[in-house]
């Protein structure tokens, strides 16, 4: 089978569960002296470390290559049987378990969940927890110790090929969503990962680019999502990035790994390198705070696939020479051991070869998909008294479904975030040799047909399908039908960036597109009585046709149950509740970075704090759809807002939310703040939110607590978080640009926050 794993993507672009018990096995004989799980884990790890030889210590801080060992997967570190230390298996798991051995994908029945960006669009903390738990259950069932899902680099550059793997443009949203996913994962006795630390915001020149960021921007935006995720989620693993940050490689950057992550934030887990080329110097990496090299090799002089490695014989030599202290090696090993103890893995390691509960996976994937889809537009067609959506199956006699391979399946993102389909790709690649930045760009489609699901919802209607290659024929069919549903697709993958946010045509993406999608949508919109566009995308999409269609549903990469989930939203079986975690611009050049340079290795974050919606607000640029936007089949009313602050600077905000429509629905109530003008901040920032389910006519008083950290700026003189004195204006509403936002003001005193963890 053709390689489509992490190895291929790298090489082609190159050239909190409590401790289960205190008995333990192997050489661990230290009795428990306290009921505190963290202290117990520390004690047991210390005792185990004392029994290890130097060679055994070295063995535990590097992998032996990718897709190796009995289980295969992204990484493998053999265990130490005499001490009861189990084999350590790592798998890519952004959307589900990716298992491959020596280039061959293993058909393990794993569930493909919707993309992480889709998860972020749910704004649902409970769902994020359950998403992490579902993938972790399958990881552990197969036998994996650690999952590599957990990307939270901010969507500074929407054309980034990995935008779909991350959790949007706001650090508070991304941080708390990844913390919940992390907790869900680790409760299943699987180590969770947060990555790529840090500022890994585009794929172009990803091994050699240098993210140039001022200190305040770095701390307030690009490190804040990690800070929240680490402190609230307590992951066992943080993966450092390929790129440099301010001139130092991320995995050899002592400011990032030691000063900030370990010392300031109090991080107790291990730091793992990204796969291949992230490390180029043994001493620099080890002394900077790197704890594990991946994929590693059995022999540093040979490397793996010809790529040099640094944490096996080279590290042993460096420790013996004193250029890397023995205490640093011991700390590397200790961090791994205490994580294994803390999560109960040492006492109850996973066994290999279990059977995945596919029915449970299908339900989890479907539930996540319907909660993450975002209804962007829903206008009332001419001559109608109701909005275009939801569709009423009893009143519809004919539906035409057009394009996007909707007859056979739904699209997935590519690279290491892909979960291989259980039963093969539903679509044959048009040009297998077509490439983006040297990366094979054939999309995977899961066999989950929206067409079949639409037919099931409307059994009495005539439902026909056109593949989209003949725009005139599709437009004629749309003119004759009651409803026309056009599917648009946009493929993203690790290893390459998009040239444009526009829906690609056959010239922009010859591997996956046979026609001009924008022209097709425009033709259908010009003739249809009721036109609906469903988007399967990994990032924002520009829409030159948006004013001419009646409804737009953003389905993202919806996962293994995408077809039925899309139909559930279209027909109102589920009321949409997703909100955008990224801003949709009108044009590509509305972004701060006008183009991605293929030659300039310095990626300068010249926009500073004006990133994402902050940029559009500060520059007074009208977005196509703003951050936080998402419609419902019901309506909500906000009223009676008030706020108060205590002596410590904690702010409490209260308001009433009412469902004023005729059906039950969920609203993501969002809270933003404008800081005093002297703070020098963009117009407003997200500080809190709640997703609230209400019956028709129901209301609820909402209270949101905002700690001082959310009101603070990074003081570059003190190098600390600092709440500036002055009047803060709080805004409660349905999106970052809700014109009906409630407001309340609150005076806060000057307060410098201690660097504590």
Residue positions annotated with a catalytic role: 274
Phi-psi region of 247 (alpha: psi -120 to 50; beta: other; left: phi over 0): left
How far is the C-alpha of 717 from the C-alpha of 484, rounded, in Å?
Answer: 59
How far is the C-alpha of 387 from the C-alpha of 524, rounded, in Å?
Answer: 18
C-alpha closest to that of 691 among 665, 664, 711: 665
First to last CA, the chain: 47
Bond preceding residue 749 cis, omega within 30 of 0: no
Torsion over CA: 288, 292, 295, 300 (sign): positive
Q: What is the DSSP letter of 191?
A: B
What are the counts of helices (DSSP H) followed by strands (DSSP E) for the chain?
19, 32
How far is the C-alpha of 609 from the C-alpha of 614, rounded, in Å?
Answer: 7
Q: Which helix (H) or strand (E) holds 507?
A: none
Q: How far is CA 94 from CA 38, 419, 470, 627, in A?
A: 28, 8, 36, 23
Residue 474 has, within 13 A of its CA and on its CB side, a CA count of 27
Phi-psi region of 590 (alpha: psi -120 to 50; beta: other; left: phi over 0): alpha
How far is the C-alpha of 604 from the C-alpha of 218, rounded, in Å?
Answer: 12
* HEC string for 388-415: CCCCCCCCCCEEEEECCCCCCCEEECEH
Q: How far is CA 92 from CA 81, 89, 348, 396, 467, in A?
A: 26, 10, 22, 44, 33
How far is the C-alpha of 175 from the C-alpha of 205, rounded, in Å?
Answer: 26
> For residues 131 and 142, is the Cβ–Cβ distance under 8 A?
no
Query: Strands (DSSP E) along 595-719, which ranges?
Result: 602-604, 636-645, 651-659, 665-674, 685-694, 699-706, 713-715
Bond preceding residue 605 cis, omega within 30 of 0: no
> For residues 181 and 595, is the Cβ–Cβ distance under 8 A?
no
Query: Strands (DSSP E) along 141-296, which ranges?
Result: 146-147, 193-197, 210-212, 237-240, 244-245, 248-249, 270-272
Q: What is the CA radius of gyration of the chain?
A: 26
Q: Which residues contact 363 (CB under 8 A, 6 or more apart)?
A: none
The tokens describing 31, both together, are 């009795």
């Amino acid at each position: 089978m053709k390689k489509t794993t992490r190895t291929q993507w790298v090489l082609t672009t190159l050239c909190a569960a409590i401790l289960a018990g205190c008995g333990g096995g192997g050489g661990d004989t230290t009795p428990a002296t306290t009921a505190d799980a963290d202290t117990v884990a520390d004690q047991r790890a210390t005792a185990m470390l004392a029994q290890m030889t130097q060679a055994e210590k070295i063995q535990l801080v590097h992998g032996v290559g990718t897709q190796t060992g009995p289980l295969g997967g992204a990484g493998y570190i053999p265990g130490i049987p005499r001490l009861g230390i189990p084999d350590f298996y790592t798998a890519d798991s952004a959307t589900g378990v990716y298992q491959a051995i020596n280039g061959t994908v293993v058909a393990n029945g794993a569930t493909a969940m919707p993309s992480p960006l889709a998860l972020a669009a749910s704004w649902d903390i409970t769902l994020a927890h359950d998403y992490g738990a579902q993938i972790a259950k399958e990881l552990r069932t197969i036998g994996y110790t650690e999952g590599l899902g957990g990307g939270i680099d901010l969507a500074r550059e929407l054309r980034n090929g990995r935008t779909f793997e991350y959790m949007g443009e706001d650090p508070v949203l991304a941080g708390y969503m990844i913390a919940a996913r992390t907790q869900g994962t680790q409760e299943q006795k699987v180590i969770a990962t947060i990555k790529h630390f840090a500022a890994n915001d585009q794929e172009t020149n990803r091994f050699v680019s240098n993210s140039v960021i001022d200190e305040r921007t770095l701390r307030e935006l690009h490190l804040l999502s990690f800070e929240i995720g680490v402190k609230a989620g307590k992951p066992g693993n943080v993966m450092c990035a390929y790129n440099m940050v301010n001139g130092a490689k991320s995995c050899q950057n002592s400011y990032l790994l030691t000063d900030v992550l370990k010392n300031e934030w109090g991080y107790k887990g291990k730091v793992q390198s990204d796969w291949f080329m992230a490390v180029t110097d043994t001493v620099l990496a080890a002394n900077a705070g790197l704890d594990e090299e991946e994929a590693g090799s059995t022999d540093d002089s040979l490397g793996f696939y010809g790529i040099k490695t640094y944490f096996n014989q080279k590290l042993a030599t460096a420790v013996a020479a004193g250029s890397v202290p023995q205490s640093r090696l011991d700390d590397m090993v200790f961090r791994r051991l205490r994580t294994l103890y803390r999560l109960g893995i040492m006492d109850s390691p996973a066994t290999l070869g279990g059977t995945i509960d596919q029915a449970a996976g299908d339900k989890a994937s479907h539930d996540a998909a319907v909660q993450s889809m975002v209804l962007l537009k829903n206008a009332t067609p001419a001559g109608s008294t109701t909005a275009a959506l939801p569709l009423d199956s009893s009143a519809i006699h004919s539906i035409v479904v057009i394009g996007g391979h909707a007859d056979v399946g739904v699209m997935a993102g590519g690279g290491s975030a892909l979960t291989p389909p259980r039963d093969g790709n539903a679509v044959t690649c048009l040009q297998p040799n077509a490439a983006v930045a040297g990366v094979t760009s054939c999309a995977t489609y899961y066999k989950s047909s929206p067409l079949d699901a639409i037919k099931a919802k409307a059994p009495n209607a005539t439902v026909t399908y056109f593949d989209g290659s003949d725009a005139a024929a599709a437009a004629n069919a749309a003119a004759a039908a009651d409803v026309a549903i056009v599917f648009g697709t946009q493929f993203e993958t690790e290893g390459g960036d998009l040239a444009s946010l526009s829906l690609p045509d056959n010239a922009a993406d010859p591997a996956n597109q046979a026609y001009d999608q924008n022209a097709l949508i425009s033709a259908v919109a010009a003739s249809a009585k009721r036109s609906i566009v469903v988007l399967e995308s990994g990032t924002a999409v520009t829409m030159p046709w948006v004013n001419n269609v009646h409804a737009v549903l953003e389905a993202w990469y919806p996962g293994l149950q995408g077809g039925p989930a899309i139909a559930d939203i279209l027909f109102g079986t589920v009321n949409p509740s997703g909100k955008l975690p990224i801003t949709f611009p009108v044009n590509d050049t509305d972004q701060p970075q006008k183009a991605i340079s293929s030659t300039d290795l310095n990626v300068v974050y010249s926009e500073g704090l004006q990133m994402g919606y902050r940029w559009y607000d500060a520059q007074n640029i009208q977005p196509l759809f703003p951050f936080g936007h998402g419609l419902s089949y019901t309506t909500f009313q906000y009223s009676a807002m008030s706020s108060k602050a205590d002596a410590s600077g904690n702010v409490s905000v209260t308001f009433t939310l009412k469902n004023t429509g005729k059906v039950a629905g969920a609203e993501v109530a969002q809270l933003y703040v404008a800081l005093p003008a002297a703070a020098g901040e963009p117009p407003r920032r997200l500080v809190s939110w709640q997703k609230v389910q209400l019956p028709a006519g129901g209301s609820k008083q909402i209270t949101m607590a905002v700690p001082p950290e959310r009101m603070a700026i990074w003081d570059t003189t003190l190098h600390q978080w600092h709440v500036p004195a002055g009047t803060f204006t709080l805004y409660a509403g349905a999106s970052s640009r809700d014109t009906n936002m409630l407001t309340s003001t609150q005076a806060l005193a000057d307060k410098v926050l201690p660097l504590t963890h």
